[in-house]
Amino acid sequence: MSIVVAIDGPAGSGKGTITGIVSKKLGLVNIDTGAMYRCVALATIQNNITLEEKDKIIELAKNIKIEFDSEGKVYLDGVDVSKRIREKDVSSIVSPLSSIVEVREEMVNQQRALAKGFDIIMEGRDITTVVFPDADYKFYLDASFEERAKRRFLQNQEQGIEMSLEEIKENIEKRDYNDMHKEVGALKRTEDQIYIDSTNLTIDEVADIVIQTIKEK
């Protein structure tokens, strides 16, 4: 039986950083599902499709090839798009696009297929509730709005992505609302998730909590 660690949480809560560390320390395959929705958003932009053209977006979601390598790089139809999918244009359409029910169905199927046969850690918004409701370990990672915006700003600066703190705040606020109010796959807190508020914790402290919880259970 393979192990499934599921982590949900809002934008900028540190899911990506934490899953990166935990996956390396525990030898788990790391799957960033937000990157998958971002790939669909990037393909939508590249094909000059608008958000209103739902059928075309659904068709695209079914036909593009999304892959990850062992370092966590993301490939869209064979091209490394790891940095490109974090840019402003993608960030501004990814949340409404991820509300399209048929796009979610396709991504959830692909996520389950990617996990098959591996010990995995998967992060997103609906992993603990929809993709793997029976996961061995379920976490909800959170942080205050201000802290999340600051973290995303610093992360973007490190990667050379141009976005002001104000733009990031606006983007995160919109995405929070949309991600929590989706018809299907909304970000939710549930009784069976282990809730971690990382606002005043270091990255190592959060990673330790996750690792200890996994080792103890």
**CB 216, min distance to ligand DC, A:** 26
Residue 148 touching ligand DC (CB under 6 A): no
Listed residue (15, 4, 5, 21) closest to 141, CA to CA: 15
Residue 14 touching ligand DC (CB under 6 A): no
Burial of 32 (0-12, 13-18, 19+ CB in 10 A): buried
Sheet hosting strand 4-8, strand order edge to edge: 29-32, 120-124, 4-8, 137-142, 194-197
Q: Which residue's CB is nearer to ligand DC, number 192 or number 212?
A: 192
Q: Which residue's CB is nearer to ligand DC, number 174 or number 215?
A: 174
Strand partners, 31: 122
Residue 31 touching ligand DC (CB under 6 A): no
Determine the Cα–Cα distance for residues 110 and 108; give it in Å rounded to an integer.
5
Residue 175 touching ligand DC (CB under 6 A): yes
Q: Which helix (H) or strand (E) holds 158?
A: helix 145-159
Residue 20 touching ligand DC (CB under 6 A): no
**CB 124, min distance to ligand DC, A:** 2
List the x/- string, 55-94, binding to ligand DC by CB under 6 A. Answer: ---------------------------------------x
Residue 156 touching ligand DC (CB under 6 A): no
Total of residues contacting ligand DC (CB under 6 A): 15
* 8 Å CB contact between 206 and 14: yes
Q: Which residue's CB is nearer to ligand DC, number 28 or number 82?
A: 82
Q: Which residue's CB is nearer to ligand DC, number 20 or number 185?
A: 185
Listed residue (29, 37, 38, 108) closest to 69, CA to CA: 29
Residue 37 touching ligand DC (CB under 6 A): yes
Strands 74-76 and 79-80: antiparallel
Which residues lie near ligand DC (CB under 6 A)? 11, 33-34, 37-38, 94-95, 98, 124-127, 175, 179, 185
